C-alpha cells in the first residue's frame, strides 16, 4: 500500500460542487479542446474553475491550466491513489464553482479507466463525440457510452467538429430524450490544438493559445448549454500532515522548453516537506543556482539538441554537482540529457553530459507507454513511462519497474552514487518518505 493510500487522520465535512468528467469514445475526439473551452467559458463568466486530468499526462494540463487560470492536478485510482484523489477533489470543491475532469483515451479504456474514476466519486460523464463524419450514428455512439456500464453516472453529450445548421440538427435529433444535448463545437483550425509525437504542443510554445481558447469558448457559448451541472457531493478525506523531511534543503528544478514534464503535485510535495525550489534552464543558464539537490524532469531535449550540447558551462556544472556526491533525480528526457549522446529521428547526433554511459536514438514510433511501480532502496514509488527513444547502455540497473496491468514494460532505474535516473516519471506523492530520501543530501 502506498503512503497515499494509508492516510489515517480524522476527516472533515463533505463538500458539494458541480462537476463533470469530460470523456470520449476514443483518443483524438477533442476532449482537451472541449474541456479547455468549457473552462475558459465559465472562467470568463466569473466562475472559479478547477480542472483535473485523469491519468498520467503533462501536456494537456498545461493547456487546461491556461484555460482555467489554476494549476491542474492528476487523478488516478492507481498512480495517485483513491485517498489522494479524494483529497484533491474535496479541496477543489471548497474553492471552486465548477470542477472539470478530462478523461484519458476512450471512456472505458485502460485499468483504471475514466469510467472507473467517474463511478468511484459519483461524477457524471459528459461524452465528447467527433461528429465530423457521421449523422444519426452519433446517437448510437451516445447511447453506447451512456448504457455500456449501467451504474455509470452519465450527464449527456457534446458534438465536436460539427458543421452548423443541418448537420448539427441531424446529430442533435439522433439522441433519445434520456441523453442531454450539451451543444457542439465546429471544425475550425482557429480552435484546434496542434500536436507532435508526445502529444499536444506545449502551451508556452503557442503564441496564440489564449486567442484559440477564447475562440473555442465563443463558439461553445453560441451553441452549447453553459448552465452549471448539478452539484456532486465529495466525501471528506483522511489527511495526515507531512513530516518536514526536506527542511532546509534547496532543490534546483530544470524547467524550460526542453524540460517541463513535471507533476504539479511533485513540486507541491517537495515544498510541503520543507524544500525550497529554484528553477533554472539547462538551455540558457550558464551556472546552477545555489542548491544542494537537482531535479531534471522529462521533456523535449531532442528538439533542442544543439543548444543543450553547446551549453558546456551548464553541463560542467551538473557534472560537478554529481561528482561532489550531491543528489540528482533525472526522469526520461532528463536522463537522456545525462547520456553520452542523443540522436533525433533524422539521425542528427549531439554529445551531451556523459554522466551516464550510453547513447539513445529517437524513434518514429512509440517505444513504451505504461504505468510503473518500482522498489528502490528508499521505498516503492509509482509513476509511468512514455517515450519514443531507445537506450543503448551497458549500465546495470539498480532496479526495474513493473506494470500493474501486466504490460511487458519494465523500465530500468540506474544509480550512480546519488544520481538516480530512469525513463519513469515518478509520482512522488505515492511515497513521500522515499521521495524525500532521493533529494536529501
Q: Identify the active-site residue in 17, 54, 332, 403.
A: 332
Report the candidate in 49, 53, 38, 123 with the shortest Cα–Cα distance to residue 92.
Answer: 49
Cα distances (angstroms) measured from residue 80 to each of 23, 73, 84, 266, 397: 19, 10, 6, 11, 25
What is the Cα–Cα distance from 349 to 368, expressed in whole angstroms?
Answer: 22
Active site residue 54: no
Cα distances (angstroms) measured from residue 320 to each of 222, 275, 363: 58, 22, 31
Cα distances (angstroms) measured from residue 127 to each of 37, 60, 179, 333, 369: 15, 18, 10, 34, 25
Query: Cα 200 to the chain's mean position, in Å?
Result: 11
Contact 371, 423 (CB under 8 A): no
What is the Cα–Cα distance from 50 to 46, expressed in whole angstroms?
Answer: 13
Grid cell 511533485 in the structure block, residue:
266
As beta bridge partners, residue 75 has: 54
Contact 424, 383 (CB under 8 A): yes
As beta bridge partners, residue 301 has: none
As beta bridge partners, residue 52 has: 73, 101
Contact 292, 441 (CB under 8 A): yes
Residues with Cβ < 8 Å from 50, sequence gap 6 or more? 68, 70, 92, 95, 96, 98, 99, 100
Would you state the cell numbers that stand for residue 291, as one nine-digit string?
Answer: 542548491
Q: Where do the DSSP E strands lie in 140-188?
A: 154-160, 180-184
What is the Cα–Cα distance from 315 to 309, expressed in whole angstroms?
Answer: 8
As beta bridge partners, residue 126 has: 22, 156
What is the Cα–Cα distance from 303 to 305, expressed in whole angstroms?
Answer: 6
What is the Cα–Cα distance from 282 to 316, expressed in whole angstroms?
Answer: 11
As beta bridge partners, residue 234 has: 15
Would you state the cell numbers that stand for residue 281, as one nine-digit string?
Answer: 534552464
Residue numbers annotated as active site: 332
Amino acid at each position: 500500500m502506498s503512503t497515499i493510500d494509508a492516510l489515517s487522520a480524522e476527516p472533515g465535512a463533505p463538500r458539494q460542487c458541480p462537476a463533470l468528467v469530460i470523456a470520449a469514445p476514443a483518443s483524438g475526439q477533442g476532449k482537451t479542446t472541449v474541456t479547455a473551452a468549457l473552462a475558459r467559458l465559465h472562467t470568463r463568466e466569473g466562475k472559479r474553475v478547477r480542472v483535473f486530468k485523469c491519468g498520467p499526462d503533462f501536456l494537456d494540463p498545461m493547456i487546461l491550466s491556461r484555460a482555467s487560470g489554476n494549476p491542474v492536478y492528476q487523478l488516478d485510482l492507481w498512480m495517485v491513489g483513491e485517498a489522494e484523489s479524494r483529497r484533491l477533489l474535496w479541496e477543489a470543491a471548497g474553492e471552486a464553482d465548477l470542477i472539470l475532469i478530462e478523461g484519458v483515451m476512450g471512456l472505458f479504456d485502460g485499468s483504471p479507466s475514466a469510467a472507473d474514476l467517474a463511478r468511484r466519486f459519483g461524477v457524471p460523464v459528459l461524452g465528447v463525440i467527433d461528429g465530423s463524419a457521421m449523422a444519426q450514428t452519433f446517437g448510437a455512439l451516445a447511447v453506447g457510452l451512456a448504457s455500456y456500464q449501467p451504474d455509470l453516472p452519465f450527464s449527456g453529450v457534446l458534438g465536436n467538429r460539427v458543421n452548423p445548421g443541418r448537420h448539427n440538427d441531424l446529430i442533435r435529433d439522433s439522441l433519445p430524450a434520456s441523453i442531454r444535448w450539451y451543444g457542439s463545437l465546429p471544425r475550425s483550425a482557429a480552435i484546434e490544438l496542434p500536436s507532435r509525437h508526445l502529444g499536444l504542443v506545449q502551451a508556452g510554445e503557442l503564441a496564440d493559445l489564449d486567442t484559440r481558447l477564447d475562440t473555442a469558448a465563443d463558439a461553445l457559448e453560441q451553441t452549447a448549454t453553459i448552465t452549471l451541472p448539478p452539484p456532486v457531493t465529495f466525501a471528506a478525506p483522511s489527511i495526515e500532515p507531512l513530516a518536514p523531511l526536506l527542511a532546509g534543503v534547496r532543490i534546483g528544478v530544470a524547467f524550460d522548453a526542453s524540460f517541463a514534464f513535471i507533476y504539479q503535485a511533485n513540486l507541491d510535495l517537495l515544498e510541503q516537506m520543507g524544500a525550497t525550489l529554484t528553477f533554472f534552464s539547462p538551455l540558457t543558464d550558464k551556472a546552477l543556482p545555489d542548491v544542494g539537490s537537482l531535479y531534471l524532469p522529462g521533456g523535449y531535449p531532442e528538439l533542442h539538441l544543439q543548444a543543450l550540447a553547446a551549453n558546456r558551462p551548464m553541463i560542467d556544472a551538473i557534472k560537478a554537482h554529481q561528482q561532489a556526491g550531491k543528489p540528482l533525480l533525472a526522469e526520461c528526457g532528463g536522463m537522456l540529457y545525462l547520456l553520452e549522446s542523443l540522436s533525433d529521428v533524422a539521425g542528427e547526433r549531439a554529445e551531451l553530459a556523459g554522466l551516464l554511459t550510453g547513447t539513445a536514438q529517437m524513434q518514429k514510433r512509440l517505444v513504451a507507454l505504461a504505468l510503473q511501480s518500482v522498489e528502490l532502496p528508499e521505498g516503492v514509488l509509482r509513476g509511468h513511462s512514455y517515450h519514443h527513444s531507445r537506450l543503448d547502455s551497458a549500465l546495470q540497473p539498480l532496479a526495474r519497474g513493473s506494470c500493474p496491468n501486466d504490460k511487458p514494460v519494465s523500465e530500468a532505474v540506474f544509480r550512480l552514487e546519488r544520481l538516480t535516473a530512469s525513463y519513469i516519471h515518478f509520482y512522488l506523492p505515492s511515497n513521500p518518505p522515499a521521495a524525500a530520501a532521493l533529494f536529501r543530501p
